[in-house]
Amino acid sequence: MLAPEFWRVRRFADSVPEIARLQQEMNRLFSAAERGTMVDYPAINVWEKDGTAVITAELPGMDHDSIDISVTDNVLTLSGKGKAQVVNEGEAYLRQERITENFQRNFKLPFRVASQGVEAKYEKGILTITLPRLKDDLPKKIKINS
């Protein structure tokens, strides 16, 4: 093990570049934290089943009439109008995590969607959207001639 005197040999001036680099790294980390720690809303799951994309989105407490879904080519846009929860006089939030504002979220799918076949169901706070793949976008088998 090295004696404590070993560490004192280094002059402070020699440490300045390392301290500056550390300060830059800390500034970068904290400035990134300010920009975008907000998680995308609503939380979603996406999977593919038999040439169809299925998306489920968590939208607790939303009225299904306030949710809008649109599809253009391979982009799904999900938006909605939330209702702010009003607290009574003399009440104050101790913690507020649920989003009650308007939202919009776009999802790029790996294929174009047959928009006439899109189906949506809203049950118990979960929105389920089924997006069939456009027939022209399906993989085609190529016959090899010999």
DSSP secondary structure code for residue 71 in this structure: E
How far apart are alpha carbons 25 and 44 in whole angstroms? 33
How much is the CA Rg of the chain, to the nearest whole Å?
26
The model's pTM is 0.63
Provide the residue ranges of all domains of the chain, joining segments of one domain with +: 4-35, 44-135
pLDDT digits (tens, 9 = 90+) for 27-83: 777 766 555 445 678 889 999 888 889 999 999 888 889 999 999 888 899 999 877
Place of tokens 């990134």: 32
126 pLDDT band, cuts 50/70/90, is: very high
For the ranges 33-37, 96-100, 107-111, 126-130, which has the lowest average pLDDT? 33-37
pLDDT at 6: 53
Contact status, residue 74 vs residue 111, Cβ threshold 8 Å: yes
Cα three-residue angle 58-64-67, rounded to 5 degrees:
75
What amino acid occupies position 91? Answer: E
Does 14 have pLDDT greater than 80?
no
Task: Please determine, for residue 9, whether its predicted confidence score (pLDDT) is greater than 60.
Answer: no
Mean pLDDT over each residue of the chain, to the nearest integer: 81
The pLDDT score that the predictor gives to residue 50 is 84
Please report, as a single letter, which amino acid is at residue 7.
W
Angle, alpha carbons 17-21-4 (nearest 5°) = 60
Q: What is the pLDDT of residue 36?
A: 46
Whole-number Å distance between alpha carbons of 133 and 33: 38
In CATH, the number for domain 44-135 is 2.60.40.790
Question: What contacts 62, CB < 8 A, 6 or more positions away?
Answer: 80, 82, 122, 125
Of 121, 138, 142, nearest to 51 by C-alpha is 138
